[in-house]
Structure 1
Amino acid sequence: MAPSSSAVSSQLRQVVHYHLDNFAYDNALFFAERLAAHDPRTSESVYLLALSHFRLGDYQTAYEISKAVGHRGSHVSCAFLFAQTCLALDHHKEGIQALERARASWSGKNGFGKHGATTRSQHPDAATILCLLGKLYRARDEKKKAVISFEEALKANPFMWDAFTALCDMGVDVRTQNVFKLNESFLDCCSHDSNKNGVLAEQKDNAIAHQTEAASKRSYLRQQAAADMADPFDSQKAVSSSDSLFGNSSAPFGAGENDFLSKIAAARSRMATSTLDMGSDLTETPTTSNSDSNIRVPNAPSEQLPAPTRRAKTLPIDTGLQDPPLKIGHRLGTKRTLRAYDKVQEDAPSDGAPGGLRVPSATGIAAIERKRTVSGHPVQPRQHSEEPGAPQRRSARINMSRNPNIKSHPATTTTSVAPARELKKARPPIPRLARPISANTTVGRAVSGNRKPLEDSGMDVDHAEAPRVKEPVVQQPAPKQSTPDNLKVEEALKYVLELLRKFAAGYHAQSQFQGAEALTAYASLPRGQQDTPWVLSQMGKAHYEQAAYAEAEKYYRRLRILAPTRFEDMEVYSTILWFLKRETELSFLAHELVDACWRSPQAWCALGNAWSLARDHEQALRCFKRATQLDPKFAYAFTLQGHEHVSNEEYEKALTAYRRAISADRRHYNAYYGIGRVYEKLGNYDMAYTHFDAASNINPTNAVLICCIGNVLEKQRKIVPALQYFSKATELAPHAAQTRYKKARALLALNQLDAARKELEILKDLAPDEATVHFLLGKLYKTQNDKSSAVRHFTIALNLDPKASQQIKEAIESLEDDDDGYDDSMMG
């Protein structure tokens, strides 16, 4: 019989998912094609085939396969995959349309907490799709819609880190305290799903442990009770005998002392002749504890109590080896019987042996009420012998269950001999004994509603302490367990979100180019987190933005030790080495990266920087172009191309490269700076000012950009606004000698001599070997008619820079002139 088509499709889907989960994407693709050929009309077949191509990096094929189903939005997973391919292939509008058409299927869905080692969420949830939607809007340069999508994704799930970084990279001022916090809906989702997938698994393990412990405790109690309450003469019985339930009659009881065994044998022979269909298995004495269905009559005392007014039902007597519990609902006897037994207990002597057994009232009553002779009469207890030296005798505890492996026989619970006196009607004992015993009952459980188990058969059982021996509940009530577990989940989430908030504070500050704040946030992380590659890279980048290249190099050197195969941000490390003029280290880094992965654009940027430092601009340009071929959206590689074109005085090509960098990243301020430099060299100061100002708006804390704006204004003879920019740049970078020098020159041009002298004295300490500083000091003293000081600084400048001897000599010769102005011929 051929299998159904649906069964074959189900099996093929299972095979495809198996290979996808085990990263065998080639196998997944093969079986996905088989599934699509067998069942081409279902959306799931199309989705799995497209997903297999997507996992293999074949985005174009995945796009073509998923287009028909995904663009309609009828299958949310297929629409999501189609949008992913659209993002990779720059078909942004189609991806947005597909996700918007499927909005009814994913809106409001939250899959957080449903992922683990053995669980998967079937479809993407709202947070994931909103984040992808934001990326598509951002790629289309629809900033407002992108920001809304990213914000909604973070509201649905604060762990959407890429949504947060995208907002920061777009320049949005994000309040990290409000983003990374628990809201009610997210907390409810985490509490429910985590309890189901994570915490409840732990509860299950704990429940199993408790159950095992309880079983061990019950087994121990049974063994203790059996050791104390078993018939002390049980070991003397024969293995097989048809004359007595106890087997051999050579027990330590003498015939003259007690002929009870002979009476039992006689009564048993009468029962055998009158009982219908009595099996021979009932006449044999069991040799193991599996004989729970056989009756063992305890040693009767010598004196009898009056017969009870109510007929008691016959129960199997304990063998002494096992002690299963009695089923709930059995009734021991009347209050009159209880009072009669209490009286006997008061008169009976206690066991003289240490730790001797004193039978609890409930168990003793059961023994009196339930024990019967084979003729149907209740067995009457007899007082212990009064003879001195007579051994103390114990009653074996009643066996309150029967072994399910032994077949029950009606003769074991019924009597065929009519009793001598008419008793009250009693319920048939067969259904009660044949009734299955629950596996959850406890040892020594009494009846009549009193569940007072026997804790220690060798000691008196205090009724107040009896409940603690009850079987422990394996599964705790839901309200008692859910509250602590939910608290654990909430505490864990708060800890992770607090940690994430520190990361976010650092990244947000860095996206706003606030390097000091970013370093402070990263420094507040635990030490283990600070030594991770991502944090080391971010801290190195923060120092790089502050022009602290030596400090930045330390972090990247540490990063290379921890993660030698990491390529991300290596272009920044190579630029730091370029600024530090570390030619050997830069060459080694470049060749190491290219050898490790020659398809990495970061590796080709490092190699290009190495050629640039060696002043081979043509080779550097080839490397940077190769980097842009590998990643057309790598903005920094285009910027480096522009720098090399400027060095070759190819300004048009430089402008093209810078503009391509801006199209790849709207906030890439380095490209705006490069365009400003090109226009400044071309003499177009207005355009230069516009681009420098645009770069400064993106990175308002960069002193170099602000100083560039001051330079353009200074060249336009706008000295007052230029001085404002120079002063601001000095505040941002107080140890930058070039910025302070330009400020001092502007002050000197405005004839603010005292302020200029203060700046130059500070600058002399910052750069004591800089000839231009002493030359400007000489001109300052010349303006103040301090000729001796002017000559001294001119002479120092001449010694530091002999190449400028002609200009310095002319300045010395013109000390008598008063119209030299502020211009500095050494600056150019």
Structure 2
Amino acid sequence: MDVWRCLDLDLIGGAEFLASQKLAAEPSPAARHLYALVLYRQGRYAAAAHTAKGSTHLGCAYVYAQSCLKLEAYSDGISALETVRSNGIEPSGERGIPDRAAVELLLGKLYAASGDDNASLMYAHSAKSDPWLWENVLALCQDRTINLNTANVFKPPPDQPPQLAASTGLLFPPKPTGSALTPAIFSNSKSKVEASLQLFKDADSSPQLTPARSRAPALVETPSVKESLVPFRRRILKRPPLSLADDRSPKTPSTPLNLTMPGVSSRSPLGLGEPMPPPHVTKPTSLSNVAETIASIYQYLANYECKRALEAISQLPHPHQASPDMLAVAARCHFELVDYKEAAAIYERLRKVDPYRLKDMEYYSTVLWHLKREAELGFLAHELIQIDRLAWQPWVVMGNSFSLQQDPSRAIACFDRAIHINPKSAYAYTLQGHEYVAEEKLQSAQDAFRLALRADPTHYNAWYGLGTVFIKMDSPKWAEHHFGQALRLNPNNAVLVCFMGTCLEAQEMYPQALTYYKRACKLQPSSAVARYKKAQSFMAARLYPAALVELKYLHSLVPEEANVHLLLGEVYMELSNRELAIKHLTQAAVLDPKVKESVKQQIDLLEKS
């Protein structure tokens, strides 16, 4: 009875019949494992767990733990795997029986799902045994509490011939006597995660996995800041912190900034702007080197070092650069760098290469939302729903489409559907929270953002959302706390830095606010919003010459922005330069008729003085 042949051909019905008959005729642990495996492949997780439960057979324990992961019975799965692991796992060569690396990878998933710090330790053990399972390495790269040295992941130890690297995937040198793998690592005050860091050491014993404390700044040009200071309702509270809002600050202009940036500089094929000093990545020449580079790319993205991620992608051979996963990473990097047009162009390429892809389409839909491409967003939603209406991503895309059509109630319903399909989608909760803010349902918005953080405590967008809710509630102190949490997760986001300044400014802590605005300008020199806020702070401190320097630079970036001319006029008034003051105030009135009355009053004051 060839059950495996039926499984290989996806003939699950035949596999179930044959496996059940084999179990009836020969109730051995191997037959029990095979029947449980068939049930698991059918998606009958409770039946598979019931069949495999209680057996010390490695295959049965593995299927039982897999079923527990699906059923969210994490502690039961952990207990089963830890039992067989403590008994020792020897290579069997038998089909369907996992090796040590696979068992430890599944343990890592179970620990991670239960919120246990042992997840990192299990992923480290698994990567040591076999990094070519990839999921173990990817999990370590995406763990933002550690900093994996990807250069050692696919490298054989010094005493191993290089040709064996691909087959064994060894990450570490052989375990010395009394090494960090002994239970003694847990006997002191260190946590198990800290102890797991000791595993990542090279031959000279220098630590290779250390707590990540700093991230590279994202120095990019903002392609458009037209939306940057519009009212909270339709822009700032709507999406991840990619722009700024000022309407709660003491120095808010009477109308929103309409800032548009000049053309960006020449770009690489992936849309990278000015070249950065290359990271420590060499041109990959083998599968091991390619895998190492891709691991570093995911690590950069997890830490929001988007410029470095793009540079590393450019180091890959062209076929790998053009692969769907790398296109998705490149587009996501441009999304985080607020380069929506480039992100949209790469997502379009991704759709041509992989037209049935659902993963990452939620970010593509947000890019289209920011670009106000209503027709394209609606078409994308329609196509994805046709592909798989039972997946959560199409409903997020549909929700963004309704949001762009100014229909928040239907958008909320779509996000609800996405959450129902995938209750752990922090992004769906966050977008739903922004829709509640648009409806002025601030308590519901808080609930949605907190549910997002329950699903993913490292989701900085949800912390940002809570901060903006408290700004709407005129609670700058609480807003400062939540923006601070977001900034802790993504310390190089110039928008978050500016929001911290806004909160401090609202509390009349002007010197501290100015410090944050200076930091934002350093992180993103071309940010018109950061420059504007910095100039406002200089004016509040009566540092008019310094404000004039910032405004002149800002005027070179956005010469047609009425609010910049308005502020320039005020500065020149304070500096007793009547001619230039009237010139800029008049220009502000020409560019924005809504400020005519205010300009007229200021010119009258100037003529009377």
Q: Does 1:811 align with 2:602?
A: yes
Cα offset, 1:753, TM superposition: 2.1
CA deviation map 1:683-721 (0-9, x unaligned): 222221111111111111211111111110111111111
Counterparts of 2:526 and 2:107, CA distance in 1: 45
Match of 1:696 among 466, 479, 487: 487
Residues 25 and 189 of structure 1: CA distance in aligned 2, closer, same or farther (over 3 Å)? farther
CA contact (8 A) 1:182 1:494 kept: no
Give the residue type in structure 1 aligned to 2:49: Y
How many Å separate the matches in 1 of 2:154 and 2:328?
A: 23
For 2:52 and 2:607, locate their aligned partners in 1 and report how far apart those are by CA, in whole Å. 85
Paired AA for residue 115 in structure 2: D
Mapped to 1, the partners of 2:46 and 2:600 lie a distance apart of: 71
CA contact (8 A) 1:158 1:180 kept: yes
Tell me what 2:78 maps to.
Answer: 96
| 1:622 is the counterpart of 2:596 | no
Do the aligned partners of residues 193 and 589 (structure 1) sit closer, same or farther apart at CA in structure 2, a change above 3 Å counting? closer
Q: Which residue of 1 aligns with 2:47?
A: 61
Give the whole-Å Cα distance in 1 for the aligned partners of 2:442 and 2:58: 50
Please report the TM-score for the alignment, with normalisation by the length of structure 2.
0.78
Structure 1 match to 2:59:
77
Q: Does 1:23 align with 2:23?
A: no
Report the Cα offset of residue 106 of structure 1. Answer: 4.8
Cα distance change on mapping 1:185 and 1:60 into 2, 3 Å? farther
1:179 alignment counterpart? 153
Aligned to 1:45: 31
Q: How does 1:314-713 map to 2 (within 5 A)?
A: 495-713=286-504
Q: Distance in 2 between matches of 1:193 and 1:724?
A: 53
Partner of 1:151: 124
* 8 Å CA contact 1:513, 1:699 repeated in 2: yes
The answer to whether 1:752 aligns with 2:543 is: yes
Tell me what 1:163 maps to: 136
C-alpha offsets along residues 375-402 of structure 1, whole Å, 9 cap, x if unaligned?
xxxxxxxxxxxxxxxxxxxxxxxxxxxx
The residue aligned with 2:103 is 129
Asked whether the equivalents of residues 166 and 288 of structure 2 are also in contact (C-alpha less than 8 Å), the reply is no
User: Once the 2 structures are TM-superposed, how far is the Cα of residue 183 of structure 1 from its aligned partner?
Assistant: 2.7
Give the direction of change, closer, same or farther, for the CA distance of 1:780–1:503 in structure 2 (3 Å limit).
Answer: same
Q: Which residue is 2:262 aligned to?
A: none
Q: Report if the CA contact (8 A) 1:76-1:105 is conserved.
A: no
Instruction: Give the Cα separation in 1 of the matches to 2:111 and 2:532.
Output: 46
SS of aligned partner of 2:517: helix
SS at match of 1:599: coil
Determine the C-alpha separation between the residues in 2 that align with 1:32 and 1:81: 15
Residues 48-103 of structure 1 deviation map (CA, whole Å, 9 limit, x = unaligned): 1211111112222212222232xxxx111111111111111111111111111001
- Does structure 2 retain, via aligned residues, the 8 Å contact 1:645–1:654? yes
Whether the aligned pair in 2 keeps the contact of 1:621 and 1:644 (CA below 8 Å) is: yes
Letter in 2 for 1:47: H
C-alpha displacement of 1:188:
9.5
For the 8 Å contact 2:156–2:162, the answer to whether it is kept is no
Task: State the one-letter code of the partner of 1:559.
Answer: L
Change (3 A) 1:783 1:817: farther
Amino acid at match of 2:75: K
Partners of 1:809 and 1:151 in 2: CA distance: 68
Cα offset, 1:191, TM superposition: 8.1
SS at match of 1:566: coil
Is the alpha carbon distance of 1:89 and 1:775 closer, same or farther for their aligned partners in structure 2, counting shifts above 3 Å?
same
CA distance in 2, matches of 1:777, 1:681: 29
Give matches, 1:167-316, under 5 Å.
167-171=140-144, 172-183=146-157, 190=164
Secondary structure of the residue aligned to 2:131 is coil
744-753 or 675-684, which deviates more: 744-753
> Does structure 2 conserve the Cα–Cα contact (< 8 Å) formed by 1:25 and 1:52?
yes
Q: Using the alignment, how far apart are the partners of 2:519 and 2:69 within structure 1?
A: 42
Rounded Cα–Cα distance in structure 2 between residues aligned with 1:29 and 1:593: 33
How far the C-alpha of 1:505 sits from its partner, in A, is 1.5
Task: Report the Cα offset of residue 806 of structure 1.
Answer: 2.5
- CA-CA distance at 1:587 after TM superposition: 1.0
- Match of residue 566 from structure 2: 775
Q: Per the alignment, do residues 648 and 77 of structure 1 end up closer, same or farther by CA in structure 2, a change over 3 Å counting?
A: same
- Structure 1 residues 556, 607: closer, same or farther in 2, change over 3 A? same
Whole-Å Cα distance in 1 between the matches of residues 133 and 602 of structure 2? 65
Residue deviations 1:731-753 (CA, integer Å, cap 9, x gap) = 22222211211111112212222
TM-superposed deviation, 1:179: 2.0
Structure 2 portions without partners, runs of 5+: 169-283
1:798-822: per-residue Cα shift (whole Å, max 9, x none)?
111112222232333333799xxxx
Q: Deviations over 1:105-138 (max 9, x none)?
A: 554x468xx7xxxxx6552111111111111111
Query: In 2, distance between residues paired with 1:564 and 1:494?
Result: 29
Once residues 591 and 539 of structure 2 are traced to their aligned partners in structure 1, the CA distance between those partners, rounded to angstroms, is 22
Question: Which amino acid in the other structure matches residue 176 of structure 1?
Answer: T
Does the 8 Å CA contact 1:110/1:189 hold for their aligned counterparts?
A: no
1:290-343 Cα shifts (integer Å, max 9, x gaps): xxxxxxxxxxxxxxxxxxxxxxxxxxxxxxxxxxxxxxxxxxxxxxxxxxxxxx
Indicate yes or no: 2:19 matched with 1:32: yes
Task: Output the amino acid matched with 1:166.
Answer: A
Q: Counterpart of 2:406 in 1: which secondary structure?
A: coil
Distance (Å, rounded) in 1 between the aligned partners of 2:465 and 2:167: 52
SS of 1:653's partner is helix
TM-fit CA distance, 1:104 = 3.7
Which amino acid is the alignment partner of residue 79 of structure 1? A
**In 2, are the aligned partners of 1:586 and 1:610 still within 8 Å (CA)?**
yes
Task: Go from structure 1 to structure 2 and tell me whether the alpha carbon gap of 1:140 and 1:816 turns closer, same or farther (over 3 Å shift).
Answer: farther
Asked whether the equivalents of residues 158 and 181 of structure 1 are also in contact (C-alpha less than 8 Å), the reply is no
How many equivalent pairs are there? 493
Residues 192 and 651 (structure 1 numbering): CA distance in 2 closer, same or farther, change over 3 Å? closer
Give the secondary structure class of the aligned counterpart of 1:815: helix
Give 1:409's aligned residue: none
Show the counterpart of 2:189: none
Preserved CA contact (<8 Å) 2:156 2:165: no
Distance 1:189 1:62 in 2: 40
Determine which structure has greater relative contact order: mean sequence separation of CA pairs < 8 Å that are 6+ residues apart, divided by chain length. 2
Compute the TM-score of the two structures, normalised by the length of structure 1.
0.57
Structure 2 residue aligned with 1:141: 115
Q: Give the whole-Å Cα distance in 1 for the aligned partners of 2:166 and 2:493.
A: 49
* Contact 1:16/1:31 (<8 A) preserved: yes
One-letter code of the match for 1:148?
Answer: L
Indicate the larger mover: 91-100 or 58-67: 58-67
Query: For the residues of structure 2 that align with 1:735 and 1:158, how far apart are their CA atoms?
Result: 41
For residues 259-303 of structure 1, the C-alpha deviation after alignment (integer angstroms, 9 at most, x for no partner) is xxxxxxxxxxxxxxxxxxxxxxxxxxxxxxxxxxxxxxxxxxxxx
Letter in 1 for 2:63: L
The 1:150/1:494 distance shift into structure 2, 3 A limit, reads: farther
**8 Å Cα contact 2:433/2:449 also seen in 1:** yes
